[in-house]
Structure 1
Amino acid sequence: MTGARGMLAMYALCATALVSPRADAGEHWVAGWGAAALQAPIAPNIELPSPPQNPALHDQTVREIVTVGADGTQVRLHLDNRYGATAVALGRITLARVKNGEDDAIDPASLVSVALHGAGKLVLPANGSLDTDAVAFTTHAGDRLAISLYVPQAVEPASWHVDARYRQLISEPGDHTGDATFAGAAQAPGNDWLTRVDVKGGEGAAAVVAMGDSITNGFRATAGSSYPEQLAVRLRHAGCAMPVINAGIDGNQVMAAHGNFGQGESMVRRFDADVLDVPGARYLLLLGGINDIGEPTMAAQSTGRAIPDAQTLAAPVIAGLKQLALKGRRHGLRIYGMTLPPFGGTDRAFTAQGEAARQAINGWIRHDAPYDTVIDVDAALRDTVRPDRMQPRFDSGDHIHPNDAGYAAMAQAIPLALFACKASAASAGIRRSLSPAQRSGESAMVSIALIQVPGPAAEGRRLSTMSGPVAESGGTRNINIADTTGVDNL
């Protein structure tokens, strides 16, 4: 290969290598948005006798809209087909910025095509995943992006994420990846294949990963109001913008020791893919165990078997959470464990045995877990008169999932200083905008509870709490934190 043509070919090879997803040495990639994949179709189970279904696709375009949590100058996509037994051919893929105030309309001037090794078409490998090439695209924390994937051949997506609060748009026949809007598009819950949007940010860019079940995923919340989303807003408002990657799956279990009656692989099985493989992951918020208690209880009741005792329910959860925490710490993550919130009154799932198991798990979390810090969600949400139940103002109505205000209380219970956000900025983050659903009543009390755990071998463990009146003013609530005596790491 000689002459100008050879030089051009060599230049093309070098250019491809420079933007290859594996050429990351010295680059500072961080996950700007993410979701945990699960297998489709979802089989009917104890919790969901009629689970959501993912429609088949053929000569159609799927548009998925996400909110990124990091500033950057380049973007790449992570597409996941880990549960697909066959490869999936995709046509054109585009990335664009969503117009302000419009649900799905994109800014045509921002539209760019996304490729793999310079090719406009790509194939998702069977039981595998891939990162696309990086494209020049400026992002700011809080930007909404639209990713459009053209699917030319008939396929039943086998890897997806289910979130009833968000809908992917499915076009009429044809490649509509460049369309400004999707007129006449069908909708389906969640999203197909897309599990991460990575951005290339500044040196030291880091991400928080929130692993859990439906309480992390934001079940029964309105769009944008899950606790990870509200935590990300707090960080942005405090001047400490940092992506909070939601790795929650509805119905998910820590160990699934008594049978997986929910959705997705257990947290222990999916930890590597959904936490350790996340670029820039530095902090882990870990909340799990309610389904390990509730779903076996529901299964026993439905089949006439004896309900497992507290020890039988609690022991696998404790073992699984310990395994995850120690593995995360070995990989350099800061582990922030969260106590299990109350679920008294939950139909068929709540029993005396289950409540005893929850108390045993929370006792271990507060006093013995190998966490760097414990966030006491139980203390933040529980009712003072009936502590096995959630406060009514935080209850979505099913007695196990918080409403928007409850998820806000969870987000407020997490001190921003845990993410190297300076105290002055962290205080500013307390002031935040709330949706109308959260602004019920003239005033309220928000309690924040933190257990600072110096380490698994530490002798002293301190419980710090903060509470204060919340004043309504101009569509926002401001927590009065004038008296913060004894509050650690606000």
Structure 2
Amino acid sequence: MSMIKRAIAVSLLCVAVAGSAVPPPQRWLRSWASSQQIPEPNNALPEADLKDATLRQIVRISTGGQQVRVIFSNAFGTEPLRIDAAHVALSAGGPTSKIDPASDHALTFDGAPEVTIPAGASYASDLVQLRVPALTSLAITLHLPDAPARQTSHPGSRATSYVIHGNKVRDVELTGAKTIDHWYQIAGVDVLAGYEGSAVVTLGDSITDGNGSTTNGNDRWPDRLADRLQASPATRKVSVLNHGIGGGRLLLDGLGPNALARFDRDVLAQTGVRYLIVLEGVNDLGTFTRDAPQSPEAHAALVRRIIGAYRQIVTRARAAGIKAIGATILPYGGNDYYHPDAQNEADRQAINAWIRERGNFDAVVDFDAVMRDPKNPMRMRADVDKGDHLHPSVAGHRAMGDAVPLSLFK
């Protein structure tokens, strides 16, 4: 063998050996998230409560990992937000402010123990070495020296948070803290996962947000979907991100921004997202005639606009390489708030027919077929109805979570 050939062979061998030692690629994957909004007055904390205040908030992640980072939000703040201390730890479990002290880690931001987040922005902490098993509850604790100029929140947390004066981010338990069932200034938790990890965003209204589920029970339909994904070896690397907002609509703002307005932040900006389930539209239909009847022409125009909004969502998702899954709108006949009539039902049926039509979405989850009363399709089945004929019960959330085929994510 010539000297040149021998040198080439040795070089190739070295490359092969070095290549075999390279660890598999990893990337950040969002494992928990919530939609941000301005809290309505009855859900906002008094300014005095948030001056020199420690907030401890409990969230349940879906996929696990060995390293985590926390994303804080000042999305609706009108001035910079200063957080001068923050920690993350495993929750001790159950509705308590107590943490597992052995897991407690101080968070840093670009190596510093504090951060000032510009108005309208979010900010990710540095990573911390913390083993978090799938479906684990984390306690995120932060100290605010001054109250936000305007709060950024997710009122529909269905999880108890704790607020107390003073810097107590290191305390194992916040004894004497005020309790509130809302989240403030937190937007997400990322885990460092294998490159094949992916996230599914559930974009919706109060049904997705968990109305009818149990506070601190983690039994919303997206939670049930996460449980099922983690129970199957084929889908354990798929996380579920709940981006439901109470009163959410496609076309108009409700308690929070409309679906098209929040699409970039709640879908495209979520790390690792590859799937999207859209369950929106019942509030557009209900509010349309809640206060006064509308003409047939106006009904037809509303249906066209709702379908147009779906088309926009599908187009933007596909452009980002995200599989767009349409979910049919649940029946809401008998609801006293919206009091739908035959024309409202015709609108819902027309929209659901479009969702089911092949090619409009990349796949369909037919929640309507699962939840409707076969004897009266305008209404939800009694055994899955919360009682207001609009929101599912705990059993209804479970039925919805069970109705999503896991094959969509393989």
Q: What TM-score, normalized by structure 2, do the two folds share?
A: 0.89
Q: Which structure has the higher relative contact order (CA within 8 Å, separation 6+)?
A: 2
Q: Structure 1 CA distance, aligned partners of 2:337 and 2:83?
A: 44
**Matches of residues 453-468 of structure 1 in structure 2 within 5 Å?**
none
Q: Residue 98 in 1 paired to residue 91 in 2?
A: yes
Name the counterpart of 2:288: 296
Q: Is the 8 A contact 1:54 1:157 kept in 2?
A: no
Q: Structure 1 CA distance, aligned partners of 2:243 and 2:286?
A: 20
**Matches of residues 408-423 of structure 1 in structure 2 within 5 Å?**
408-420=398-410
Q: Post-superposition shift, 1:352?
A: 2.4
Q: Structure 2 CA distance, aligned partners of 1:372 and 1:231?
A: 19
Q: Post-superposition shift, 1:411?
A: 1.0
Q: Is the 8 A contact 2:91 2:139 kept in 1?
A: yes
Q: How many residues align?
A: 378
Q: Post-superposition shift, 1:209?
A: 0.7
What is the letter of the counterpart of residue 95 of structure 1? V
**Matches of residues 311-326 of structure 1 in structure 2 within 5 Å?**
311-326=300-315
Q: Residue 360 in 1 paired to residue 350 in 2?
A: yes
Stretch deviating more after TM superposition (154-163 or 55-64): 154-163
Q: Is the 8 A contact 1:205 1:280 kept in 2?
A: yes
Q: 1:117 aligns with which of 110, 120, 132?
A: 110
Deviation string, structure 1 residues 81-102 (Cα, Å, up to 9, x no partner): 1111101111110000112456
What is the letter of the counterpart of residue 32 of structure 1? S
Q: Structure 2 CA distance, aligned partners of 1:187 and 1:157?
A: 20
Q: Post-superposition shift, 1:67?
A: 0.8
Deviation string, structure 1 residues 10-65 (Cα, Å, up to 9, x no partner): xxxxxxxxxxxxxxxx641000100000123x27xxxxxxx533332111100110
Task: Report the 3-state secondary structure (helix = DSSP H, G, I; strand = E; otherwise coil) of the residue aligned with 1:343.
Answer: coil
Q: What TM-score, normalized by structure 1, do the two folds share?
A: 0.74
**Matches of residues 46-445 of structure 1 in structure 2 within 5 Å?**
51-56=42-47, 57-101=50-94, 103-163=96-156, 165-171=158-164, 173-222=165-214, 223-239=217-233, 240-241=235-236, 242-256=238-252, 260=253, 262-298=254-290, 300-301=291-292, 306=294, 309-349=298-338, 350-367=340-357, 370-420=360-410
Where structure 1 has 5 or more consecutive residues not aligned to the other structure, the ranges are 1-25, 44-50, 421-490
Q: Is the 8 A contact 1:313 1:354 kept in 2?
A: no
Q: Structure 2 CA distance, aligned partners of 1:190 and 1:392?
A: 29
Q: Post-superposition shift, 1:157?
A: 4.5
Q: Is the 8 A contact 1:297 1:307 kept in 2?
A: no
Name the counterpart of 1:456: none
What is the letter of the counterpart of residue 401 of structure 1? H
Task: Report the 3-state secondary structure (helix = DSSP H, G, I; strand = E; otherwise coil) of the residue aligned with 1:362.
Answer: helix
Deviation string, structure 1 residues 356-391 (Cα, Å, up to 9, x no partner): 111110011111552111111000000011111000
Q: Is the 8 A contact 2:44 2:151 kept in 1?
A: no
Evaluate the alpha carbon distance shift between residue 162 and residue 380 of structure 1 in structure 2; reply closer, same or farther with a 3 A threshold.
same
- CA-atom RMSD in angstroms: 1.6
What is the letter of the counterpart of residue 382 of structure 2? P
What is the letter of the counterpart of residue 325 of structure 1? V
Q: Structure 1 CA distance, aligned partners of 2:160 and 2:400?
A: 25
Q: Is the 8 A contact 1:164 1:219 kept in 2?
A: no
Q: Is the 8 A contact 1:60 1:174 kept in 2?
A: yes
Evaluate the alpha carbon distance shift between residue 319 and residue 264 of structure 1 in structure 2; reply closer, same or farther with a 3 A threshold.
same
What is the letter of the counterpart of residue 244 of structure 1? V
Q: Post-superposition shift, 1:187?
A: 1.7
Task: Report the 3-state secondary structure (helix = DSSP H, G, I; strand = E; otherwise coil) of the residue aligned with 1:28.
Answer: strand
Deviation string, structure 1 residues 152-174 (Cα, Å, up to 9, x no partner): 12335421111152222111x21
